[in-house]
Structure 1
């Protein structure tokens, strides 16, 4: 298998790593700090190049040979996991390493101690394990989750404590939704952390996003948790505020210089956008606060479309997901500016490709919903008025002509035919109401 050529960041990290076994404890900690700065600059390809199973196995050997102090090994693992999560990188190297099994055994052994249990060590081990692992052990969750929730509920405002809370919540947010976590174990604690922050703003931006991420990962369709998320904790309102606040700290006019240069605010914003995908897909509760959330996504789309294509595309796809959810009223999409935003994206499409097809899906969904008897707006007069508003939005800028232009059979980038089945009478679909 062809491997990517070693970059300057990868070379610098590997050199620092090779020097660790020749250093004393303090010198190691200093070098690990330098390695963290290098990780901050890495892009996804560089991360994959450096953090291999072999590297983690080497760490294990150094620990066993007492060439790497355990505290320093944990510190390095936490840095590695932190950047993996911040940059949303899927990496299974740690999972397949000997070090993974070693850390698991340490967690079990420390947790089973009846006396002289080292709580700080257990917390550090749980954080290292969850942050570094793409597939955590279901068995260990019964230890790690309660342990880290205790840290997350620390309400002291000292910077040191805030960082500890942030790391604990980030580790918890890395537990995928397909892992079972008994609701009674976490719900009251996470609610308390979120509600306290809403009153006192004690959490960092990353910690708050992570608390929500952990909760959204547990999202289900039985109604109880959804009511907590939507009506008690006001997810849509909070997500809007956080997205708008983070946007203020991003230089949208600056050209992208590679993923390694992304600011912390930008990385957290991208995590919020990622989190909206399951929320819009699963949420069945109507709430007027969804209008504001949609509006904030539209604002980010307009700010990002020139220089941050990945973000602008994410915004459009989130709006498409929202359009497919009958709990998000068409009127919410209209008021929030979603229809305008997708129309603008289609208007800028200069080639007929698969990307354009995905944007057109939005209008296929929209047409189906405006003609559906399942729509919440059952009053026929109100439904006709809504159709008229949507049509006027399209007509004002001549967008309906663009939609019709793309209403044909076309080839995608891989030369496979794609067929779009938009209504045949799309040009006057909104007229005959």
Structure 2
């Protein structure tokens, strides 16, 4: 097989691996992986006659197929892939190349790296897309996934992510477009077997994973973030009967949001998050993971509503929120629901999160 055809094949395999969120140790442990790393370093060192196309192809193959990266490799691959993604020509071939480069970058998870490697380029790519809408939906999701993953090790990036590039607003728009563009109603004959996911469904699932990472770490609260909570609730309402995996991701996102004290309890109430979690916990298809996520949501909100403040206005607000919350839970028969899960508490919580398990028994709902 020629080098060109081998690259095309490996890039396609890597594309599918990242898009479907597969994990494999095989490539990283192979001689081919070592050879690719050597070729990347050798090609990058060339002062003259450097083959930029070959270098991009090598970086895309190595980054999409692998899971572990050295600092030296990242210092070469990240700028190389960003350079490919900066191509602003608006034709299908370039869009495909940009998508591949950004999808590869999204496979670089929680690795710490210097801002100089990516920040200016990331900002330029996102701002250009916001003005001209020049990228595919997968490319745009991928660049945000890469950027939010950098937020894990650099909390100061949040001001750029929220105040300058408006991540919550952009995520809302993309989620709304994806839910409108997908036919979520399964055909009757498809109910008995799992249908193949569309590309749009893959992208929506990836967005929700990115939101989970963001909700876990965000500290800046504004109206755009409140709208993002609303949007997750709306996505759940659209997919709940026809796409359980994405519905489950929505519930997990709301649980992570409830854990983050920056997220206001009143916004969780206004958005209908409480309603959808109550609805989920009563579904006959509920599994242990969703039981854990749903009960944790209420445990965490209950804890926050029990925390008294010394500010009279805030204290009055807290008491009113607590009253509304417990009234809602009483209306829905939440006490009976808790009782029905009592015998499974120890198993469910001990197997998912010991910390939440102890909180549950120390907290009165």
Q: Same fold (TM over 0.5)?
A: yes
What residue number does 2:72 align with?
Answer: 139
Shift of 1:351: 7.3
Asked if 1 retains the 8 angstrom alpha-carbon contact of 2:251 and 2:293, the reply is no
- The within-5 A match list for 1:145-294 is 145-177=78-110, 179-220=111-152, 223-254=155-186, 255=190, 261-294=196-229
Is 2:299 the counterpart of 1:359? no
The 3 A distance-change label for structure 1 pair 273 and 341 is same
- The alpha carbon displacement at 1:268 in A equals 0.5
* Number of aligned residue pairs: 356
Change (3 A) 1:257 1:349: closer
Q: Is the 8 A contact 2:236 2:250 kept in 1?
A: yes
Q: TM-score, normalised by structure 2?
A: 0.89
Residue pairs, 1:402-421, within 5 angstroms? 402-406=336-340, 408-410=342-344, 420-421=360-361
**Which consecutive unaligned segments of at least 5 residues does structure 2 have?**
352-356
Mapping of 1:357-396 within 5 angstroms? 357-373=292-308, 379-396=314-331
Q: CA deviation at 1:190?
A: 0.3
Distance 1:272 1:289 in 2: 16
Is the counterpart of residue 313 in structure 1 residue 253 in structure 2?
no
CA deviations 1:260-299 (Å, max 9, x no partner) are 7110000000100111111111111112212211122112
The TM-score normalised by the length of structure 1 is 0.76
> Larger helix proportion, structure 1 or 2?
2
Partners of 1:221 and 1:269 in 2: CA distance: 25
Structure 2 CA distance for partners of 1:88 and 1:221, relative to 1, 3 Å:
closer
Counterpart-to-counterpart distance in 1, 2:70 and 2:136: 28
Deviations 1:310-359 (A, max 9, x none): 11111101100000001111112112211111011122257795642331
Q: CA RMSD in A?
A: 2.7
The gaps in structure 1 that reach 5 residues or longer are 1-67, 427-433
